[in-house]
Amino acid sequence: MKHAHVVITALLAWSAPAFGRAKDRPRIAVIGSGIGGSSAAFFLRQELGVQAVIDVYEAEPQAGGRLLEFTYLNSTYEAGGSIIYSGNRYMSDLATSMGLTKVEPPKTLWRYGMSLFWLKRTVAKALDKFLTIYALQNEGFTFATPAELWSKIGLNDYVNMTIADHLWSAVGEHTLLERELVYAVNRVNYNQDNDLNALAGLISLVTLVGGDLFKIKEGNAKVAQKLLGVAGARLHFEVTVTGVASTDTQQYKLLAGNESLGEYDAVLIAAPLELAGIAFNIDGATDPPAPQHPFQTTHATFVRGRLRSEYFSVEEGKGMPQTVLLTEDGQGEVFSSIALYERLEDGDGVYKLFSRKPLHTGLLDGLFGAGAWRTLFHRRWSAYPKLQPQHSAAAPPVILYAGHGIFYVNALEATVSAMEVLVIAARNAALLARQWLAADADGADASAAAPSLATEASSSSGGSSGSGSGGGGAVPSLDVQRAPPGGGSDTGADVVMGAADVLVEL
């Protein structure tokens, strides 16, 4: 792919948008500081300018949500969301613009015949449609429900069938590739089988049509932390929001138990409502149906030891592979995948094991030898919604209450759960929030208040930096808005300011 260099400049001088509801200094609350919440804060700063007050509430003591790493012997290991596709334009560009280092994760090689060709073609068709999202968002397109987005870009039918059924319709048979590669990738990515919806399944396979995978050397959670710094958000850690209530002044009060956390002109919820336990009290509004999407439990376990070849019936002397993935024929196994993350000086390996249940001692003795292993880290996650086919209209709305400024970032996750999808959803919520805040009592067109987000671009190749026939032209501008200095949260958390000029390689 050809490269272009785009200098992203902080627009400190453009005139602020007019806010009909919030006057000159809108206050916005973001609940959750994972990649959805942090990128929502970032895009809110872009859309609302330096005068907006952005408060981010997080129940945990650090930002990152389901992005989490731990350190062992000076090495950082990803225990949550682990890998990023280079074609994910928001995640890739944001990581670069924040000065973070991209490194390659361990690779897996596959060998299949013509069925791989047909699978690549099927994935490419879906990817071309998905890539049109970026151009649409650059033009200000917003969606009030996931169904509006998937219908707009021609992917709605993919949500309504399983990946197995979709591949059957495309290839005409159930192939070895489907039972092995597709099944294994879905177990690794979602800990789910080939009965998940076709859109989620195909997005898991995007590297088949080009591009690479990467992770962040400093830890993927650093993307979220850096975004919050650039956004100049006030951070409130170890605060669990339990309620959102409307007020007589057309604002929204956030509650932690009986304690008021403040009143806001708009609220963005960037945490799964199925897990967050937030109660709503919105005068004159009918509560939307509570999301009923069960979440897939995933256990991430890091073990130090040496895999026994006998467990896998590998002939002596041939050596153990670095990655073990579960195929459809291996569904009886407790683990979903095993990956060697690092080989230590004494010959031991640091392995990451995914499973649906805790790994018992007997299994680990079988894998590594009795008493010859040590657990370094374990985390139980409610990692992803169960992504079975559903009518996309069954997904929760983004605008939770018609005529109100409460926006649900994670609504899109009911159909596809991925870091890039949450960033797309976050930008959509920020656009909707600006439209809501800019609307005045006379119902003026909110889009008229949109600031112009200009970039300076100089091409090192003279060609386009887009990829894929559905790329929609230029990569989204990521103009950095610096918040006023002297910020800081009520809980004492520091606000790290972003640089005015950031070089992004696209």
Neighbour order of strands in the sheet with 234-237: 234-237, 53-58, 27-31, 266-269, 406-408
Q: What per-residue confidence (pLDDT) applies to 339?
A: 85
CB atoms within 10 A of CB 217: 12
Q: What per-residue confidence (pLDDT) applies to 30?
A: 98
Sorted by where each begins, the domain ranges of the chain are: 5-103+216-293+390-505, 300-385
Distance CA 346, CA 184 (A): 31
Q: What per-residue confidence (pLDDT) applies to 316?
A: 65
Q: What per-residue confidence (pLDDT) applies to 289?
A: 61
Q: What per-residue confidence (pLDDT) applies to 190?
A: 78
Pairing of strands 335-343, 349-355: antiparallel
CA-closest candidate to residue 199, choices 425, 418, 415:
415
The enclosing H or E element of 77 equals strand 75-78
What's the fold here for domain 5-103+216-293+390-505?
Answer: FAD/NAD(P)-binding domain (3.50.50)
Q: What per-residue confidence (pLDDT) applies to 105?
A: 66
CA-closest candidate to residue 76, choices 377, 480, 372:
377
Task: Tell me the pLDDT of the chain (506 aa) as tens digits.
Answer: 333 222 223 333 333 455 566 567 899 999 999 999 999 999 999 999 999 999 999 999 999 888 888 888 888 888 877 777 777 889 889 988 888 888 776 554 444 444 566 777 888 888 899 999 999 999 999 999 999 999 999 999 888 888 888 888 776 656 666 777 787 777 777 778 888 888 888 888 877 666 677 888 888 888 999 999 999 999 999 999 999 999 998 899 999 999 999 999 999 999 999 888 899 999 887 777 666 678 888 899 999 999 988 888 877 666 677 777 776 666 667 888 888 888 999 989 999 998 888 999 999 999 999 989 999 999 998 877 887 787 555 778 999 998 899 999 999 888 888 889 999 999 999 999 999 998 843 444 433 333 333 322 222 233 323 333 333 333 344 544 444 433 433 323 333 222 222 222 22
The 3-state DSSP class for residue 271 equals coil
- Looking at this protein, which amino acid is placed at residue 347? G
CB 234 within 8 A of CB 487: yes
CB 412 within 8 A of CB 291: no
Query: In sequence order, what are the beta bridge partners of 219?
Result: none
Cα torsion angle, 358, 362, 367, 369, sign: positive
Distance CA 122, CA 53 (A): 45
| Strands in 89-197 per DSSP E | 102-103
CB atoms within 10 A of CB 96: 17
CA-closest candidate to residue 205, choices 287, 143, 115:
115
The 3-state DSSP class for residue 312 equals helix
CB 307 within 8 A of CB 318: no
Q: Which residues contact 317 (CB under 8 A, 6 or more apart)?
A: none
The predicted model scores a pTM of 0.78
